[in-house]
Amino acid sequence: MEVKWTLTVWLLLIRAAHLKNIEVRTEPEVIVGLGQSAILPCTVDSGHQASSLQVRWFKTVYNVPVHLFKDGVNKPEEQDRAYLDRTRVFPLEFSSGNVSLQISGITVRDNGVYTCYVQSSGDEQFADGEVSLKVAALGEHPLIQMEEYHSGGIRLRCRSTGWYPNPLVAWTDGKGRGLGNPPAGSEGNKTVAPGQNLVDVNSEITVSDPGDRFICRITHPLLKQTRVAVLQLTGDAFRTVSVLLVAFCLLLCLTLGLSVLLIHCCRTQYFTIKELRLRPSVKVYQKFKDDLRLQRELLVRERKLMKTAYHRIRMDAVTVTLDSGTMNPYLRLTEKPPGIPAKIGRAH
């Protein structure tokens, strides 16, 4: 039994003596500008032929490589679609140990950690190493705007676009003293531009000291470059703001007064229109007028007829003589002077 184990150990030692270990060497960090090309360094011992090496670069998933060189050729069909036609290795330099990866057209999404995996197809040896790719975008020069009078001072706003990653924002006065700087990376001072995932700086402070300089500094955390904007404020600016504030208040009061007057007029007009809508229409008034005229004409006609009838009665009047001997005993005749009509009544 001991002889068998001894023989096995000796065979393994003999095989190990013939194997040549692969050692991968990389750089821990590479910083590249947005839109540029990046070289992720990776080297192995020299003397390897391209046909004998498998070089696999991947970002997060081994089976979804950023670039794969295998069996002496590139394998784009196994490549992550986001990197198609954007990556390359250098097979002619494999013999000198260079298995680096080149990525062109760098975007924000390329930011991250990449693994360089190298395997020898002959003796199945492998090794790997990591490279951190950090994408950097230096934003535009900032601009300070004086916006409005607020809380006893003037509000200043510093704007700049196109940063990645989050820059550091600092406000100082002319003597270098900090002016209530917001915390780095706070959401109130930075917004992510849609589409490109770049950061736009939008920082504001309120100042109340006239006759001083106000400086907005935006520093890139990777490139260590700073963009600066300076604004000089004088006492005239504060007086101008005060005048503008008074004018604004007067204009606001005038606007409110006119608004109240306009509302009152509209309300009065509304009720007037509503009352007019409840009144009879012109057609109804005209019909009433026509009916009244017709009634008046009928009344005049009846009066004329009554006068005519009365006149005819008087014209047709006759003298009546009653015979006291033959008249009804219940009738009584009152004697009247001549010319005055006698009255006939019922005897009691």
Which among 129, 152, 110 has a CA at the least distance from the CA of 55?
129
Is 126 found in the same domain as 110? yes
- Tell me if 44 sits within 8 A of 129, measured CB to CB: no
Ramachandran quadrant class, 52 (left: phi over 0; alpha: psi -120 to 50; beta: rest): alpha
Is 265 found in the same domain as 221? no
Any idea what the CATH number is for the domain that residue 168 is in?
2.60.40.10
Question: What integer best gives the mean pLDDT of the chain?
Answer: 80
Is 1 found in the same domain as 132? yes
Note whether residue 215 is domain-resident: yes
What confidence tier does 69 reach under pLDDT thresholds 50, 70, 90? Answer: very high
CA–CA distance, 309 with 20 (Å, rounded to integer): 154
The helix/strand/coil state of 33 is: strand
Note whether residue 346 is domain-resident: no
Q: How many domains does the chain have?
A: 3
- C-alpha distance from residue 178 to each of 144, 212, 215, 217, 231 (Å): 16, 13, 10, 11, 15
Tell which of 136, 153, 185 closes a domain: 136
Cis amide leading into 165 (omega within 30): yes
Is 128 found in the same domain as 185? no
- C-alpha distance from residue 238 to each of 97, 116, 209 (Å): 68, 61, 9
Is 165 found in the same domain as 107? no
Amino acid at 187: E
Note whether residue 293 is domain-resident: no
Is 121 found in the same domain as 154? no
The helix/strand/coil state of 147 is: strand
- Tell me if 48 sits within 8 A of 94, measured CB to CB: yes
The phi and psi torsions of 213 (rounded to 5 degrees) equal: -100, 145
What confidence tier does 79 reach under pLDDT thresholds 50, 70, 90? Answer: very high
CB atoms within 10 A of CB 200: 16
The phi and psi torsions of 121 (rounded to 5 degrees) equal: -75, -20
Note whether residue 342 is domain-resident: no
Is 229 found in the same domain as 126? no
Does the pTM of the predicted model rise above 0.85? no
Is 131 found in the same domain as 4? yes
Is 255 found in the same domain as 211? no
Is 110 found in the same domain as 4? yes
Is 150 found in the same domain as 213? yes
Task: Please state which of the ranges 9-18, 40-49, 115-124, 185-194 shows the lowest mean pLDDT.
Answer: 9-18
Which residue range is the domain that position 120 belongs to?
1-136
Is 54 found in the same domain as 104? yes
Note whether residue 305 is domain-resident: no
Instruction: Quick: pLDDT tens for 209-265.
Output: 766 789 999 999 999 999 999 998 765 554 554 555 567 778 888 888 888 888 988
